[in-house]
Structure 1
Amino acid sequence: MYAGGFLGSGIALLALMYLMSGIRVTALAPGQGPGQIPGQVPSGGSGLAAEQRIQELGRQLAEAHAQQNQRLLAGSLVALAVMAGLSLLLGRLLAGRVLRPLRLITAATRRISAENLDQRLAVAGPVDEVKELADTVDGLLERLEASFVAQRRFVGNASHELRTPLATMRASLDVAVAKPGAAAQTVALADRLRTELDRVDHLLDGFLVLARAQHGAPADRTPVSLGGLVREALAARAADVAARALGVEDEVRADAWTAGSAALLSRMVENVVDNAILHNEEGGWIRIRTEETAARVRLVVETGGRVLDQERVDRLTRPFERLGADRTGPEGSSGLGLSIVAAIVTAHGGRLALLARPAGGLRVAVTLPSVAPPPAMPSSMAKHPVAMASAALSSAAGPEGRSR
């Protein structure tokens, strides 16, 4: 735009100069020579020769003037072309200088997410349109931060406060059932209510974990063995694996270490394993492996089953999002499992990827930053108790549930 404006104004200026250069200020009257008085007729042949000479000089002056105009026009066009090219460079430099604060604002805004809403642009400089824009964005971030903090505080406080009436209700049921001569219907009703109370308690526990994970980076960061957490989760669920006759392919590396909250990371692994067990087909299979690179560790859990829609799989990180009727029954999850996993992974600077396998089933990949194992706990953990628990898992699962 700058170069176009410069080029247009240059063309207009050049046209005006060319038109003005063609105006003749004085002109020689026909039949009038130098030194003649108007109305006087020259005598003799000398007057005729002088007039012809004057006309010849006039033609020569006109040709010289035309040539001069052509040279002026050509030089002006060349100068205009050169200056048009320079105007492109100058316009780019000026645009870059003017838009540099906007680029800084854009880059800073992209770095701000729900986990670091406390950051501000804090653009310094004169009070102009750019400064007003930055201050407006800072005000918006401040309101967003207050809204997020209020939401998380409400979820945490509400979940905590609801535990007291749940405990009271559970104690009342126990007292009613323990009374002598309690009717069979009362006992059956108490069992059903206990089941529902357990589900509500599990849901509140998920809310608390989700609120804590969404609060930001955990303060209690310590080195954690990702492979050890996986083996512990598998050992604790050996009975569930055996009950559904699931085959487990165990490729877990014990030297996969990351840094973070041990409680949150343990909950993350448990949710991923629970998801693989609960939402699997009877007699299906689970493939679990850990991978480690120079900067990252990865936990990959794959399951078989029916073919899933990738668009619906992408929404599983939202709270209460489920896939079909198999996730809505009384034995299904609360719909918070993978949303808790996503929040914990984000809080630890990692990445969660959910992929619907073309052959059927789901692939869950958790990528976290890797750290070196602490000196007191070497990377080789072949004698770790969770390794023996994993072996017990394979035995308990039967011939179809052993690791292949």
Structure 2
Amino acid sequence: MKSTPMAGLRRRPAIRMRMALSYWGLFVASGAVLLILTVGLWQGQTTTTVHVPGTRAVTTHSSDLGKLLTVAGVALAVMAVVSLLFGWLVAGRFLAPIRAITTTARRISATNLHERLSLQGPDDDLKELADTFDELLARLERSFESERRFAASASHELRTPMTTMRVWLDVAMAKPGPLPPQLVSLGDRIRDELDHVDALLESLLILARTQQGPSDDRSRVALSTLTAAALQRHADTIAALPLHVDHRPGPQVWVTGSETLLTRMIGNVVDNAVRHNTPGGWIRVTTEQARLVIENTGTVLTPEDLGQLTEPFRRPDAERTGTGLGLSIVKAIAEAHNGALSLYARPAGGLRLVITLPFAGDDA
């Protein structure tokens, strides 16, 4: 079974506790050695001989050794507690940079690689570790940025020849006189492929734009309204299959973000529920708080299939419909809005998709 960070914490104490216990153990051991040496030296000097005139010499033994042991033992116990607390505080101070590195590493994703630790302090091992982590983030940011620029540039550059090919096709198909049926069929197939490539280029541009970080055109958006509009745009396809749609909007839900990107995100999930459904199936849509839940019938999905659904150009089945970027874009847009996408396979077949976004308040 795969281990988790929490399981690791249960197996052994945290490093801060181990450091504090190490300081405490070192102090107790040092105190015990010091106490043994003190007792040994004390015993070597506590036997005295007293000469009283007119009598024989009398040997006396000091009774202060017992008191010394008692006082020293109490002092050692008190200082042991103090050393444990002091060790805990010192360990926390030394481990603060490591906690900062851990917190930053958990928070950083592909959309905020610009963040840095910029750890201040002495030039020690922890400072070197933080600087190395910052250098790693810088290299990752340059790599991601290069990929995004390439995708955006390639998409833009390909639009011109695509438009030219479409114009040439329209000119060829518009020639006077009847055209051979084979030519007409070929022209329709080419036009369909051009439409597919256009959709793919648009999806690549949106994906590249989303992965660059939060959008500037942020506003307060009604999630329920966008969902209803997406269902309306797919009404003809839904009626043709036919599919039963159970839309439960509930109270109006507001989120903060780019209306353009959120519209595309919801359109993609509705399109996915329609495209990968079965004739006569159903779609259930629910919006509550800042959660959009869409369930649909369809083929049975395995855990491996779920892992492929959000990967670009990966499809779990043999059907080559769509661009292969639909749920990849959904995930990127959700994360760009500090949200999350969760996918669950329905035992009877189909998918349950949950999008969680930050809540912007109730309807005014």
Paired residues of 1:226 and 1:254 also in contact (CA < 8 A): no
Q: Which residue of 1 aligns with 2:229?
A: 232
Paired residues of 1:354 and 1:365 also in contact (CA < 8 A): yes
Q: Which residue of 1 aligns with 2:84?
A: 88
Q: Which has the larger radius of gyration?
A: 1
Task: Compute the displacement of 1:315 (Å).
Answer: 4.0
Q: Which residue of 2 aligns with 1:11?
A: 32
Q: Which runs of 5+ in 2 are unaligned?
A: 1-21
Aligned equivalent of 1:142, options 118, 138, 152? 138
Task: Compute the displacement of 1:187 (Å).
Answer: 3.0
Could you tell me which amino acid in structure 2 is paired with residue 211 of structure 1?
Answer: A
Paired residue total: 341
CA deviations over 1:292-320 (Å, ceiling 9, x no partner):
3xxxx222211123443245324422212
CA RMSD of aligned residues (A): 2.8
Aligned equivalent of 1:278, options 270, 275, 278? 275
Distance 1:372 1:77 in 2: 62
| Superposition pairs of residues 161-200 of structure 1, within 5 angstroms | 161-179=157-175, 182-200=179-197
Change (3 A) 1:68 1:185: same
Distance 2:78 2:361 in 1: 61
Q: Which residue of 1 aligns with 2:312?
A: 319
Could you tell me which amino acid in structure 2 is paired with residue 369 of structure 1?
Answer: P
Task: Compute the displacement of 1:26 (Å).
Answer: 9.4
Q: Which residue of 2 aligns with 1:305?
A: 298
CA deviations over 1:85-137 (Å, ceiling 9, x no partner):
22111211222222233333433443333222222222223333333332222
Change (3 A) 1:253 1:93: closer
Paired residues of 2:282 and 2:296 also in contact (CA < 8 A): yes
SS at 2:44 equivalent: coil
Paired residues of 2:308 and 2:316 also in contact (CA < 8 A): no
Distance 1:100 1:203 in 2: 47
Aligned equivalent of 2:323, options 334, 337, 346? 334
Paired residues of 1:253 and 1:290 also in contact (CA < 8 A): yes
| Superposition pairs of residues 64-143 of structure 1, within 5 angstroms | 64-65=61-62, 67-143=63-139
Task: Compute the displacement of 1:340 (Å).
Answer: 0.5
Task: Compute the displacement of 1:279 (Å).
Answer: 0.6
Choose between structure 1 and 2 for higher RCO, CA contacts under 8 A separated by at least 6 residues: 1
Paired residues of 1:308 and 1:360 also in contact (CA < 8 A): yes
Distance 1:27 1:3 in 2: 39
Paired residues of 1:225 and 1:254 also in contact (CA < 8 A): no
Paired residues of 1:176 and 1:182 also in contact (CA < 8 A): no
Aligned equivalent of 1:207, options 204, 220, 231? 204
Could you tell me which amino acid in structure 2 is paired with residue 157 of structure 1?
Answer: S
Paired residues of 2:251 and 2:288 also in contact (CA < 8 A): no
Q: Which residue of 2 aligns with 1:354?
A: 343
Task: Compute the displacement of 1:151 (Å).
Answer: 1.3
SS at 2:357 equivalent: strand
Could you tell me which amino acid in structure 2 is paired with residue 4 of structure 1?
Answer: G
TM-score (norm 1): 0.75
Distance 1:248 1:25 in 2: 97
Q: Which residue of 2 aligns with 1:389?
A: none
Percent identity (aligned): 50
Distance 1:372 1:17 in 2: 70
| Mean Cα deviation higher: 334-343 or 171-180 | 171-180
Distance 1:26 1:230 in 2: 96
Aligned equivalent of 1:218, options 210, 215, 219? 215
